[in-house]
A and B are shown apart, each in its own frame.
Chain A
C-alpha cells in the first residue's frame, strides 16, 4: 500500500521537477535563439543537465583546479546542440559555493580548449574516437568527465549516464576520478548504479 503511494509520489515529483526545467528551457530557447538556431530540447537532455548539476553537489575538486575562490565551475560540453541548450539554464545555479558556466567545445579545437574546463560532458553524438581522444586529453587534469557511451568508463571516463528502467541512472569509475584528483561524497557513490574501482 505504501509502495504504490511512494511510486505515485515519485512520479508526481518527477513531473513537478521536470516542469521548471521545461520552463527554463523555454526561456533559454529564447536566449539561445540569439546564438543558435531553434534546437529541439528533449526531456532527457534536461534531466542529463540536472544530473550534472547534482553530481557537482557531491564532487570535491582539488584546489589546483581553481585559480581563485570565486572562480566559477565551468562545464564544457561536446554534445548535440539540444543537450548543450539543456545545459544552459545551469548558468543560473551554484554548486559548492561557485557559480556554474557552460561552454560548448568547438569541433576543431575541442581537445585544446579543455583548458579552464572543470566538467567535460561528452554526448552520444560524439564518435568513439573523438570521445576517447577527448578523454585522453583530460588525463592528469582535474576534470570531471561525464559521458554516455557504453565504454565510457573503460576509456577512463569518470561518470557514465544511462537510462535504466525508464529512469536516468549513472555509473562511476572511482579509479579514473582518483587519477583526476577528484573525489565524491560517499552518498553519491551509494546512489550510483555501478561503481568501478
Chain B
C-alpha cells in the first residue's frame, strides 16, 4: 500500500470515517482482492518474464541445433548456397535478427540479416551456448559432423517474443483484473448485507430511538453471531433504559404535577447567585408573569422595593438559607401589574442534581392579612358592641326621656316658632342617636338574625316614615312601592338596609339637596339577564328589587370598588363609622341576595338590592297603626328609670288612659297579686332590677292570663326584632319610642283583647 504523508493519511482516515459500513465492507473487500491480485499478477508477470526468456533461449537454441545439424553438408562441401537456403528459413522468424554459419576457422560461410545494415560479427562472438545482452539474445552451436566440429552456427534475436508474451500476459491480467474487480464489487455489494444489514438495522433503530425518544422500539436480528449478541445486549440495555426512562418520566410527571399543582408559588433559586432558575404555574398566576418572563427577573423586581423588601435583603435571606437557615418570613411582593401584596415566604436549601438550590415557597397572604385586619376590627367592634350593648339600655332610656319629652313639649301647647324649631332639632338629633345605638347593637350582636318570610314593602314604608322626619326639606322624596312579593329576611335587618342606604343617599345630597328615589318592585332574571352574567352567584329566578337612587355627588370607580369594605368611608368622622354599607352587603349576602351600585362622580348613585322571592305564601306582617288613637283603659306602667316611667305615664294620660306608674317590678307584681287596680294592660320595661320584663310578664300572666303585655326596651336581643320572643309578651316597643309607637301598640292589643275576650269597649 501507498504510505503517504501524515496529512494524506489523516485525509484518507477522514474519508473512511465518513463512509457507510456498506461502502467500507465493499472497499475493504476490493482492497484485499486487489492487493491479492496485484501480488499474484506480480508473481505471474515475473514468472512469465523468466519463463519467456528461458523459452526464447530454448527456442533459439533449438533453431541453432537444427541449423547446426543441417548445415553439416553445406559446411563439408563448402556449399554457400545450401547454407543460405538453410538460413533463409529465418525470414519466418522476425525476432531473429542475425544468423550466421561459420567455418571451423571462424570465416563466414553464409549469413542472414533481417536488416542489411547490420554487420555480421566475425568471427562469431561465442562458439557455444547463449548469452543475454540488454536487448538481445545470442546463441551459438558447433556444427559437428561425424564427431568432428566442422563449423559454428550463430544466431542473434531480439526480445520481441518475451515482450509480446509479457504484453499478452499483462493484457490478460488486466482483463482479469477488471473482471475480478467487477465480480468482487458485485459479490461484495451483494454479500456485504449479510454483515452490514444487521448493523444498519441496529443503527437505524438507534437513530429512531434518539429522534423519536421512543424507548419501546426493539432491534431484531436473524444471526447468532457477534452482531446478534450485540443486538440482544442492545435490546436488553434498551429495556433497562426504557424502564428507567418510564420511571423517570413518571417521576418527572409526578414532580411536575406537584410542582405546578400546589397553589403556592414556588421559586427555585441558584444557591450562590440567587438567580431564579425555575418557577411553577402558581407563580405565573400569582405574579402575572409567564414562566419565561419570570426566569429573567430578580427577586427585587418581584418585591415592593420599599425597605426592607429589596433585592439586597432578599439576597441576604437566600444566602442565609444557603448556609443552613430555613427562614419563614412575610414579604411585600409586587405583581406584574405593579400591585403589591403580602406574601409568606419559606426558604429551604436543597441539592437538585449536582447543584445547590434554594426553594422558595411563596404564599399569597393578602387575604389573610385583610382577614387579620378585619378580625382586629371585628374584635374591636365586638368590644365596642359589648360596651355599647352594656350602655345601650341606659342610653336608650336617656334618649327616651329626651325624645319623649321633646315630643310632649311640642304637643303641649302653643309656643314660639323659635322654640318649636329648637325642639324639633333636639328630636332629630335624638333620632340620629337612636339609630346609631341600634346600628351598634346590630353589629355587636353575636347570633344570627331570625329569618322569616315577610313582605319588604311594609318594612320599607315604616322605614320611610321614620326617615321623612329626619331628612331636610331640601331633599325631595320619591317612593314607588310596587312589590307584594315576600322574601325571607330578618325584618330588623331589612329595616336597617333601607335606613343605611337612605342615610347614605341623604348624606350624598346634604350639601345641595336633590331627589331621593326609592323603588321596590318585582323582577324576573333569566340566564340572559345582564346582571346574572355580571354577578357570579346570582341565580336566575324572581327577585324583589329595591332601588335607592340619589342625585348627590356620586362616586369614582375606585371608591365604588371599596364601598362595601368595612371602615371604608368618604364621610368625615362625625358623620359615620364606615360600617353602613359593609353591614348592608353582609345582610344582603345572608339573605342570598346581591347588591350593586352604579355611579358617576357628580351624577349621583344608584344602589340596587336584589332579594330572592320567597316561594311560600308570605305571612302578613302585623303593621302597627300609627295614628295616635287613645282610650280610657287603665294601664300599669313599670320602668325602673323614673324619667322614662313618668314620660310614659304622661303620654298615656294624654291619650286618655288612666295610667299608674311604678318603678319597681316587685311593686307591680304585688299590685297584681293583691288584685288592686284592675288594669287592662301592662307596659313594662325589659331590664329592671329584681325582675326582668319577661319574668314579670310571666308571673303576672300566671295571675291574669288574658292581660296584654307590652314590652319596651333599649337593650335586648329580643328587642332588636319587632316580634315577641316569648308567649308572655304580646307586643314590643323599642326605646326610644314615639307617642305614636306606644299608642299604636297599646291600642292594637287592647282592641284585639276586647274583640276576643271581652265585649266591646263601649259596653264596659
Contacts and interface: CB of A to CB of B under 8 A. Distances in A.
B70 A6 contact: no
Interface string B52-77: 00000000000000000011111011
Contact of A190 (B82, B107, B111): B82
A56 to B, nearest CB: 8
B661 interface: no
Contacts of B120: 2
A96 interface: yes
B107 A12 contact: yes
Interface in B556-597: none
A13 interface: yes
B78 interface: yes
A188 interface: yes
A187 B145 CA distance: 11
Contacts of A14: 78
A6 B109 CA distance: 7
Interface in B63-115: 70-74, 76-80, 82, 85, 103, 105, 107-111
A95 interface: yes
A42 interface: no
Nearest to A94: B146
Contacts of B80: 6, 10
Task: Find the residue from B74, B77, B107 having the highest chain A CB count within 10 A.
Answer: B77
B108 A6 contact: yes
Nearest to A1: B116
Nearest to B148: A57
Given A14-B78, A16-B105, A191 B73 contact: yes
A187 B74 CA distance: 8
Given A57-B145, A58-B73, A96-B146, A191 B79 contact: yes
Contacts of B146: 57, 94-97
Nearest to B74: A191
Interface in A127-143: none
A2 B111 CA distance: 9
Given A9-B108, A96-B146, A185 B103 contact: no
A58 B146 CA distance: 9
Interface string A1-25: 0100110011011101100000000
Contact of B78 (A5, A10, A94, A95): A10
B108 A187 contact: no
A57 B75 CA distance: 12
A54 interface: yes
Interface residues of A, number: 22
B76 A54 contact: yes
Contact of A6 (B73, B77, B110): B110
A88 B266 CA distance: 148
Given A2-B111, A95-B146, A185-B73, A191 B82 contact: yes
Contacts of A185: 72-73
Contacts of A2: 111, 120
Given A14-B78, A54-B77, A187 B70 contact: yes
Interface string A80-95: 0000000000000011
Contacts of B77: 54, 188, 191
Nearest to B85: A190
A187 B73 contact: yes
Interface in A173-197: 185, 187-188, 190-191
Contacts of B78: 10, 13-14, 17
A57 B76 contact: yes
Interface string B694-721: 0000000000000000000000000000
Nearest to A16: B105
A187 B72 contact: yes
Contacts of A58: 72-73, 76
A9 to B, nearest CB: 5
Nearest to B76: A54
Nearest to A188: B73
Contacts of B72: 57-58, 185, 187
Contacts of A95: 146
A30 to B, nearest CB: 26
A185 B110 CA distance: 21
A23 B366 CA distance: 161
Contacts of A9: 103, 107-109
A21 to B, nearest CB: 14
Given A58-B76, A188-B73, 16 more contacts: A2-B111, A2-B120, A6-B110, A9-B107, A9-B108, A13-B103, A13-B105, A16-B105, A57-B145, A58-B72, A94-B146, A187-B70, A187-B74, A191-B76, A191-B77, A191-B82
30 contacts: A6-B80, A6-B108, A6-B109, A6-B110, A9-B103, A10-B78, A10-B80, A10-B109, A13-B103, A13-B105, A14-B78, A54-B77, A57-B145, A58-B72, A58-B73, A94-B146, A95-B146, A96-B146, A97-B146, A97-B147, A187-B72, A187-B73, A187-B82, A188-B73, A190-B73, A190-B74, A190-B82, A190-B85, A191-B76, A191-B77
A-B residue pairs, 7 tightest by C-beta: A187-B73, A191-B73, A191-B77, A9-B107, A191-B79, A57-B146, A188-B73
